[in-house]
Amino acid sequence: MAPYGTGSAIQQGIQAATAAVQGLAGGDLSKAIAGGAAPYLAEIIHKKTTDPITGEVNTEANLMAHAVLGAVVAKIQGNNALSGAAGATTAEFIAQQMYPGIKRDDLSEEQKQNISALSTLAAGLAGGLAGTARRRW
């Protein structure tokens, strides 16, 4: 993994710090902790659902774990848990479908940027749709 760029430890740290500061700025320690921990927890999910020998991801376990993480973080931050789960799952699914068979560490910076942009878009759409559907129930 490159020391900088999309998916790097530096970017992960910046995302965590930004989320933590946002939570603290709002005066909510639980939001700060949830937002700060989320990037690291997502990385743990990736490692635990990836075969260390083949590098293959157990897609079902990976998506379910990301859904749980997304729901928990969203709920702690005062957002809709269903939206958080849908957003996290959709983003991960897009990443797995765009470049199947390529290990995360072997992706080029351009490929990582493509995944990031489309995942962000898809997560926003999925989260918005899930939130709208939930309100109609």
pLDDT surpasses 90 at 44:
yes
pLDDT surpasses 60 at 74:
yes
Q: In this predicted model, which residue has the larger pLDDT, 1 or 81? A: 81
Q: Give 50's strand partners.
A: 57
Crossing angle of helices 59-76/29-48, nearest 10°? 180
Residue 61 confidence (pLDDT) = 95
Nearest to 95 by CA among 130, 49, 132: 49
Domain ranges of the chain: 9-136
Rounded Cα distance, 133 and 1, in Å: 39
